[in-house]
Amino acid sequence: MCRKGRLVLFSGPSGVGKDTLLEILYKRIPELQHSVSVTTREMRPNEVEGRDYYFISLDEFERMRENGEILEFNKYGSHYYATPKKPIDNWLKDGKDVVLKIDVHGTANVKKLYKKKCVSIFILPPSIEELENRLRLRGTESESDFRIRMETAVNEIEQSESYDYRVVNDDLEKAADEVVKILKHKKLK
């Protein structure tokens, strides 16, 4: 069983397989709480409101940010992604382990706020070339957004040294086994 009351900061570049890994983790460790981010981008065909993201308007995002309802946020291309603060605080208060799928900037901010309650895991692609292939196959971004995602990916990978753990997703089951092992055995400082 997971030790209770911590934030699992789960990061990696777009296209690295974070969502697929998380699906496996939630099945293997069902007591993990799933923090659902908000985004101002349009819903993709395979996504479900409230499961993948809460899809909100730019006005709603600004209102949440101004009211202190956002734990952390970032902008990718022309869209915002953010973590709502209230559910996180409620789960931690109840002693739950909470997974936050966030970027490197969000991880740094959350670590400052929650200090010793965090364990950070960065998911790496087998190579930059493989990551580029995965993103191109997805076909969900314009060429300009694709270029921004690739630049962001390189930057994030460079910053991944600051994470507690780095896991290469070259074999999905092997990567999932490694993350489960981390979560079941990691003691908080």
3-state SS of the chain? CCCCCCEEEEECCCCCCHHHHHHHHHHHCCCCEECCCEECCCCCCCCCECCCEEECCHHHHHHHHHCCCEEEEEEECCEEEEEEHHHHHHHHHCCCCEEEECCHHHHHHHHHHHHHHEEEEEEECCCHHHHHHHHHHHCCCCHHHHHHHHHHHHHHHHHHHHCCEEEECCCHHHHHHHHHHHHHHCCCC
Residuewise pLDDT in 10s, the chain (189 residues): 444 689 999 999 988 999 899 999 999 999 999 999 999 999 988 899 998 899 999 999 999 999 999 999 988 778 999 999 999 999 999 999 999 998 898 999 899 999 889 999 999 999 999 888 888 887 777 788 788 888 989 999 999 999 999 999 999 999 999 999 998 876 543
Give me the pLDDT at residue 12, please.
95
Give the chain's domains with CATH numbers. 7-185 (3.40.50.300)
